[in-house]
């Protein structure tokens, strides 16, 4: 099956939605809770984590529902459309806590709205992750598809990470109004991108007809057991997911710490925009380069190289504790170049894992893989934020409302630096252990398509007129 440019473009645009939702709340939500709503740092971290723990519960069910839709209709579109419609509403509500509420009810408001937003996001994200194994059927085609996705993802991170805080400043002295303006603008872009990507199966020529795969049942316990079984029976999935979750922890902590670094280390709240430009700008260039390197040496080796480079760059940021200054943008840029590979390569490896599983164990589990992957990714990002709040709480960080001014103790500033540098470096270094055990190589993956004795089924396609 030929992978057409239109298919690549439609799939990649979905990353505007996934990248935006992953970036903006991770950047500003905890800061919104602690420095606008007056919620204590530890409590703020628990609230964000509670919403993400819900993902662990619901994502395997969404994965099974997506596989059920695929088996009965031949497509995964309906869940994606539902998520694309619902997410903007709940995203706006997350940043619309009514003025005058005390910190406790404000925190509950944010948690419930964010939980619903996260659920809507999963309705889109889980089937979206399952699609590459079905619309691209070779090792290199998946690299091309996912590299394009990460280029768009990188641009989305830059757009939301830099533009979101800038829009927030339009509220002037009214911080709540600024957050609301930011949320409305972001929600419109998120919804449009997700709905646009929901048409990718039609672009790829996948017929809206049943696939013939077994239809998953509706017993929730069975789906949780299947998720555990995927981890137990698929060593490639277990090692890849283990590395990716540790790196999600790292990037979640670094992302959440960026606003604190700008405010309390660099003493310029607008510096968060420049941090994001430094982080994401190089990634726009390096994402295709990591794809080329993967074509030459293999995805797993390129992934190892990107991760090691990120460790070195993150450790360099420890110097902020003694000499804060504009020099910080140089190592952040190096980390951004590495981050491009840390995003594009594992996402290109996941459909390889799905194809290998189909070749060795049977078909129809792409949605289940997507559900477990999304649960791991979102939980990792959320726990990264929680880890930062634990560091802040343990070092004496002082919460405040938009009407208060505080001075942070030196220990809290040191905690901010650690959350931005040493903590991410250690987590990514730890991810090298499972990554080093990842077993698949190009020959293993392409055998799933070319072996005449038992190739993994590919989706029924038709030529466009």
Q: What is the pLDDT of residues 217-259, one digit of tens each?
A: 555 566 567 667 777 778 889 999 999 999 989 988 888 788 8
Per-residue confidence (pLDDT) for residue 166, from 0 to 100: 83
Q: Are 182 and 164 in contact (CB under 8 A)?
A: yes
| Three-point CA angle 258, 244, 127, nearest 5° | 100
Q: Which residues of the chain have pLDDT under 50?
A: 403, 450-465
pTM to 2 decimal places: 0.69
Q: DSSP letter string over 154-207?
A: HHHHHHHHHHHHHHHGGGTT-HHHHHHHHHHHHHHHHHHHHHHHTTHHHHHTB-
113 and 37 in contact (C-beta within 8 Å)? no
For residue 91 the two structure tokens come to: 């995203």
**Secondary-structure class of domain 5-199+220-450 per CATH:** mainly alpha
Structure tokens at 329: 């943008």
Q: How many CA atoms lie within 13 A of 125 on its CB side?
A: 30
Q: From residue 17, give the alpha-carbon distance in Å to each of 84, 187, 198, 234.
A: 9, 9, 11, 29
Whole-number Cα distances in Å, 359 to 76, 311, 346: 21, 35, 20
| pLDDT of the residue at 208 | 59
Question: Do 156 and 130 form a contact (C-beta atoms < 8 A)?
Answer: no
What pLDDT does 215 receive?
A: 60
Say if CB 369 and CB 130 are below 8 A apart. yes
Angle of helix 235-260 relative to helix 410-420, nearest 10 degrees? 140
Three-state SS at 455: coil
């Amino acid at each position: 099956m030929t992978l057409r440019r239109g298919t690549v473009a439609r799939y990649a645009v979905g990353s505007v939605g996934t990248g935006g939702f992953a970036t903006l709340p991770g950047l500003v939500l905890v800061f919104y809770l602690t420095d606008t709503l007056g919620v204590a740092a530890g409590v703020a971290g628990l609230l964000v984590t509670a919403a993400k723990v819900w993902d662990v519960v619901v994502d395997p069910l969404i994965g099974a529902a997506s596989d059920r839709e695929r088996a009965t209709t031949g497509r995964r579109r309906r869940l994606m459309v539902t998520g694309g419609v619902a997410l903007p509403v709940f995203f706006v509500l997350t940043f619309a806590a009514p003025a005058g509420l005390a910190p406790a009810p404000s925190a509950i408001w944010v948690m419930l709205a964010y939980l619903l937003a996260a659920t809507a996001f999963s309705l889109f994200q889980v089937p979206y992750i399952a699609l590459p194994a079905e619309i691209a059927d070779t090792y290199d085609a998946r690299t091309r598809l996912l590299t394009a996705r990460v280029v768009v993802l990188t641009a989305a991170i830059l757009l939301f990470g830099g533009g979101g805080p800038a829009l927030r400043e339009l509220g002037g002295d009214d911080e709540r109004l600024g957050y609301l303006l930011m949320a409305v603008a972001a929600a419109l872009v998120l919804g449009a991108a997700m709905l646009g990507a929901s048409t990718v199966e039609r672009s790829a020529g996948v017929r809206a007809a049943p696939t013939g795969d077994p239809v998953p049942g509706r017993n929730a316990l069975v789906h949780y057991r299947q998720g555990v079984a995927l981890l137990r029976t698929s060593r490639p999935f277990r090692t890849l997911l283990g590395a990716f979750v540790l790196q999600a922890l790292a990037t979640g902590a670094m992302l959440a710490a960026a606003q604190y670094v700008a405010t309390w280390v660099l003493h310029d709240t607008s510096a968060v925009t420049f941090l994001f430009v430094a982080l994401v700008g190089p990634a726009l260039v390096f994402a295709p380069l990591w794809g080329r390197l993967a074509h030459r040496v293999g995805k797993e080796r390129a992934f190892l190289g990107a991760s090691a480079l990120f460790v070195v760059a993150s450790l360099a940021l420890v110097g902020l504790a003694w000499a804060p200054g504009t020099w910080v943008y140089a190592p952040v840029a190096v980390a951004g170049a590495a981050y491009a590979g840390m995003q594009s390569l594992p996402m290109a490896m996941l459909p390889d894992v799905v194809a290998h599983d189909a070749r060795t164990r049977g078909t129809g589990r792409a949605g289940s893989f997507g559900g477990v992957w999304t649960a791991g990714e979102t939980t990792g990002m959320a726990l990264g934020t929680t880890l930062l709040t634990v560091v802040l709480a343990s070092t004496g960080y002082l919460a405040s409302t938009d009407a208060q001014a505080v001075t942070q103790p030196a220990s809290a500033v040191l905690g901010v630096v650690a959350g931005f540098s040493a903590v991410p470096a250690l987590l990514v270094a730890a991810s090298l252990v499972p990554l080093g055990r990842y077993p698949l190589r190009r020959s293993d993956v392409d055998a799933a398509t070319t072996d005449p004795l038992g190739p993994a089924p590919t989706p029924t396609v038709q030529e466009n007129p």
